[in-house]
Amino acid sequence: MTQVEAPAWAPMTADERARFDRDGFLVVRGVLSPSEIDVARTAILGAFQRAGEPGGHGLGPTGALHQLSAVSSLPELAFLLDHPVAFRYIWSLLGWNVHVYHSHIDVHPQIQRKQKDWWHWHQDGGRQNREIETDPRPMLSVKLAYWLSDVSEPGRGNFTVLPGSHKTNWLPGPPTRGVPWPQPEGAIQITANPGDLVVFDRRLWHARSDNYSPVTRVGAFFGYTYRWIAGRDETAGLPGRPEWAGFTGVQRQLLGHAGDGSGDHAWGHFPQTTPLYGVLREQGLLDSSIPALIP
């Protein structure tokens, strides 16, 4: 576990990097302040309420919300994109030529009926896990999971992981979807308090436990990758919205709007007009020992 003490814009430590490489994830305690928790939680629960109304986003079979494009859905969550205590893990691992390609907000209330032991285990990245030939496949992206509810005990919809599995391409799962199957040996449910953060390699095999507790599970998730990988989030309309004027250059980059929008710019050919590069340069954090931080 990591306890937050580092100042803003400090890189991750050598110990954190070693543990991340070994386990595929880090748990970082107390990242968000009480006021930040309140802002994010209030916004997400408001979206949850609206989703269940006629004409709303809609809820899943157990009454849960899984809504993509977090900032397009809730612009008040933009501060989570580059929260300095959390975001340092992203640029430390991936460098400056990044964007958020996939994000979502989740709300899971108490499940009233016992569910079958469905196999929900997966790696993030979709077709990357079928179309890339190497073993292990490359990391390519890192995800931040902000916890906005009390999951300090198992059975509350906890993020469930198989430590060290990020360097394993396949798990022995069921022959087809829809077949009850036991979880893999060695899996653990991560416990966390509101404001805690989980940073994980997209290759880490993970799932969500069912929430049978009276505590509603609330979280926000942001996946970061290189700008030369296409995004899944719907962000094209953001520049036309009034909130856009209040977003920083780095936030705009992370939302898919940096430079002239060309493929060459996304390939990183113009660091001088890439906002995150500029901030890291001003802070003296372009580390030549880390390939992704070299211009």
With beta carbons less than 8 A apart as the criterion, state whether 117 and 178 touch: no
Q: pLDDT at position 179, please?
A: 81
Yes or no: say if 275 and 252 are a contact pair by the CB < 8 Å rule. Answer: yes
- In a domain? residue 246: yes
| Angstrom distance (rounded) from CA 159 to CA 214 | 17
The enclosing H or E element of 34 equals helix 34-51
Residue 1 has pLDDT above 50, yes or no: no
- pLDDT of residue 2 exceeding 50: no
Provide the 8-state DSSP code for 82. T
Within-domain flag for 294: no
Question: Residue 212 pLDDT > 60, yes or no?
Answer: yes
- Give residue 8's pLDDT: 64
Categorize the per-residue pLDDT at 120 as very low, low, confident or very high, splitting at 50, 70 and 90. Answer: confident
Tens of pLDDT, residues 69-115: 999 999 999 999 999 999 999 999 999 999 999 999 999 999 988 77
In a domain, 8, yes or no: no
What is the C-alpha to C-alpha distance for residues 179 and 118, in angstroms, rounded to an integer? 6
What pLDDT shows up at residue 5? 44
The answer to whether the CB of 253 falls within 8 A of the CB of 141 is no
| 286: amino acid identity, one letter | L
The total domain count for the chain is: 1
Report the percent of the chain where pLDDT is more than 70: 97
Q: Is residue 4 one of the residues assigned to a domain?
A: no
Looking at the domain assignment, is residue 6 inside a domain? Answer: no
Is residue 161 domain-resident? yes
Residue 192 DSSP code: B
Domain boundaries, position 130? 14-287
Whether the predicted model's global pTM rises above the 0.85 cut: yes
- The C-alpha angle 2, 280, 245, rounded to 5 degrees, equals 100
- What was the pLDDT predicted at 6? 44
List the CATH number of the domain containing 57: 2.60.120.620
Query: Who wins on pLDDT, 168 or 179?
Result: 168
Note whether 56 and 93 are within 8 A (CB): no
In a domain, 1, yes or no: no
Q: Is residue 141 part of a domain?
A: yes
Mean per-residue pLDDT, 183-202: 96
- Average confidence score pLDDT of the chain: 93
**Percent of the chain whose predicted confidence (pLDDT) is above 90:** 83
Q: What is the mean pLDDT of residues 125-143?
A: 95
**H helix and E strand count, the chain:** 8, 10
**AA identity, residue 82:** D
